[in-house]
Amino acid sequence: MRVSRSGRSILMRNIIRPENIVAHSDVAPARKNDPGEKFPWKLFALSGVGLWVEAGAVAADESLKPNDNGPKISDLQRMLGEYGYGIDVSGRYDIATTETVTAFQRHFRPAQVDGIADSATVQTLRKLLIARDSQLENNDPKAPEPKNPFLGA
């Protein structure tokens, strides 16, 4: 599958960096679930539209799940927010956190979409933050500031 010309055209017309291409479910996790886990995000990224990293490895450590509390939950929420998801850092694995993790998994870890942040989900998020930061460092500093699709700007 190739990315359509219209996909590339959107990038050019709106000055959106390829790593900022997101799904409806990324922007509104509580209301949207499209395009879903079957969308070929990896192929799009390989064609220069979007950002993709291979999923982290599953480890036998404890998963973060609904109703959990504490600093690990705060760290997860902070990383999701840093990536662009609109989530409050409360330290509680609440409904909003579950919905956001589910949206993240639909986009970046489609093999397991359950709203539970296991080690592979958290590791994938960390890898994405590193990859995104690397992309930003390699972009032309004179380029116009891109729109943030998570904020609808």
Q: Bridge partners of 92?
A: 69
Within 8 A by CB and 6+ apart from 28, the residues are none
148: three-class secondary structure by DSSP: coil
Residues 42/134/105/65 CA torsion (nearest 10 deg): 160
Q: Tell me the pLDDT tens digit for each residue of 53-110.
A: 999 888 887 899 999 999 999 999 999 999 999 999 999 999 999 999 999 999 999 9
The band of 111, judged by pLDDT with boundaries at 50, 70 and 90, is very high
pLDDT value for 136 = 74
Q: Structure pTM?
A: 0.81
pLDDT value for 100 = 97
- Topology of the domain comprising 5-138: Muramoyl-pentapeptide Carboxypeptidase; domain 1 (1.10.101)
